[in-house]
Chain A
Amino acid sequence: MLINIGGWLTDPTHWTGPNGIPTRVLEHLLYAGISLLFSAVIAIPLGIVVGHSGRAKWTISIANSLRAVPSLGLLFAVALWLGPKIASSLAYVIPSVIVLVLLAVPPILSGTYAGIQGVDPAARDAAQGMGMRGGELLRKVELPCALPLLLSGIRGATLQVIATATIAASISLGGLGRYVIDGLSVSDYPEMASGAILVALLALAMDGILALVQRFAVSPGLSGKFRNTPGNRPVVSTTARGDAATEPASPTDRADDQREALV
C-alpha cells in the first residue's frame, strides 16, 4: 500500500496541470489566506474593543458557542442556501470562504480578547505615566503584550481553516481536499491517502512557520528570554491567569483553539 502511495506521489502527471499538486497546494493556501485575512479584519478590532472596554462580552460567548456546531454541517447548510444564488464559477468558493471565516473568527477573537484583557495593569499604568494615550498606548504597549495570545489564536484559526478547506472539497471546492474526496468517490486509496498526507504536511508546515513568527515577533520581555536577569521579569505573568474553566487566557484554551482546528 505504501508503495502505491509513493508511486502516486512521484508520478510526474500528478505534478502538472490544473489538477496537479502545485496548483492544488496554491489553491488551498489561497482559500486559507483569504479567509484568514477576512476573519482577522473582523476579529482583531472586535477583540481589542471587547477586551479593552470589558463590555459586549456576549460576542465572545456567541463566538465560542459556535464551536459546538459541526463544521461539516455549517459547510453544507451554507452551500445549499447560497450556492444556487450565485451564478458564476464562484458558486462554491463564496460559501466555502464564508464558512471558513465563520470558523476562523472565534479563535482569533478569543485570543485577541484574552490578550488585551490580560495586559498587566501595572504596564498600562506605567505607559500612561510616561504620557502615552489612546492609540499610542494600544500600539506600543497593549498590542505587543497581547501578541502571544493573539498569535496563538491565529495559529489555531489557521489549522482550523486548512482542515475545513479540505472538507470543503465535498462541496466542489478545489485545493488538496480534491484528492481525498475524489479518491473516496472512486475508492482509489493511493489517491486519497496521498491527499491526506499532503494536507497533513501543509498543516504542519504552516503551524511551524507561525510558531517561528510567534517566536520572533513576540518581545523578549514577554517571552521570558530575559527571565534570569533581575529587573526584566516578563510583563505578563503566565501563572497568574486564574481558573482554567472560566478564564479564556488559561493554557487549556490554547489547546482548545488547536483542538478545534481538527474538525
Chain B
Amino acid sequence: MSWVADHLGDILWYAGQHTLLAGIPLIVGLLLALPLGWLARRYSRLYGVIIAGSGLLFTIPSLALFILMPLILGTRILDTLNVYVAMTLYTLALLVRTVAEGLGAVPDSTRQAATAMGFTGMRRLLRVDLPLAIPVIAAGLRVAAVSNVSIVSVASLVGFPQLGYYLTDGYQRTFPTEIAVGIVGCVLLALIFDSVIRAGAWAVTPWQRVAR
C-alpha cells in the first residue's frame, strides 16, 4: 500500500494517458460511426460491406494492429498516433453496427407518427430516430469503452506509456504489487468509463424514466 502512496503521482499520470488513449478514440469513433451507421441503414448494399469490413477488423489481434499501423500510416513505431488510429478503427467497427441496429430498432409506427407531425428528412433523423436509438448506441459504447481500456494496456508491450506499463514492468521485476496496481487501475478506469456513459445516456433520455 505504501508503494501505491509513494507513486500516486505517477499512477495518476499513467491513468491519465490511459484515459486519453482509450477515450479519444471512443469519441472520434462515435462521431464517425453516426453518419456511417446511418448510411449503412439507408443503403442495404453498403450495410453488407460495412458489416463484413468491421468483422474483418475485429479479427485482427490488437498487438498485430499496433505493429502494422506504421506500415499503413507511415509513422514511426512509437508514434502515439498508431494507438489512436488503431483504437479508433476498433471503436468504429463496433459502433457502426450498433448505430445501424439502433436506428433500425425505431418502430415504424413511431416513424410514421413523426412524419405525420411534419418531421421530414434530417430533422426526423436528428429529433426522432437518433434520440430513440440512444439506449442501443449507449450499450454499444459501453462495450467499446470497456474493451478499449483493456486493449490499450496491451500497447505497453510496444512501449506506449499507460497503466499497462505497471503490468509489463511488474512482471519484468517480479513485483506483484505493480501488476495489481495495473489490473485494479484498468478495472477502475473501465468502471468509470461505464458509469459516465450510463449517466450520460440517462441524462439525455428522460422519456426512459417515465413509469411504463
Give A contacts to B, CB under 8 Å: 1-2, 5, 67-74, 76-77, 79-81, 159, 162-163, 166-167, 170-171, 177, 180-181, 184, 187, 189, 192-193, 195-197, 199-200, 203-204, 207, 243-245, 251-252, 255-256, 258-263
Contact = CB atoms under 8 A, between A and B. Distances in A.
Given A193-B68, A196-B67, A77 B176 contact: yes
A166 B59 CA distance: 13
A99 to B, nearest CB: 13
B60 to A, nearest CB: 5
Chain B facing A: main interface SS: helix
Given A76-B179, A189-B77, A203-B59, 19 more contacts: A5-B71, A67-B146, A72-B154, A77-B179, A163-B61, A167-B63, A184-B67, A187-B77, A193-B71, A199-B61, A200-B61, A203-B60, A244-B98, A245-B139, A252-B97, A252-B98, A255-B94, A261-B59, A262-B61
B150 A263 contact: yes
A197 B69 CA distance: 11
Contacts of A73: 153, 164, 167, 179, 182-183, 186
Contacts of B139: 244-245, 252
Interface string B75-93: 0010000000000001000
17 contacts: A67-B150, A69-B183, A70-B186, A72-B157, A73-B167, A73-B182, A76-B179, A80-B170, A170-B157, A170-B168, A187-B77, A244-B135, A252-B101, A252-B139, A258-B55, A261-B58, A263-B147
Contacts of A177: 63
Contacts of B13: none
Given A80-B174, A255-B140, A259-B90, A192 B67 contact: yes
A73 B187 CA distance: 11
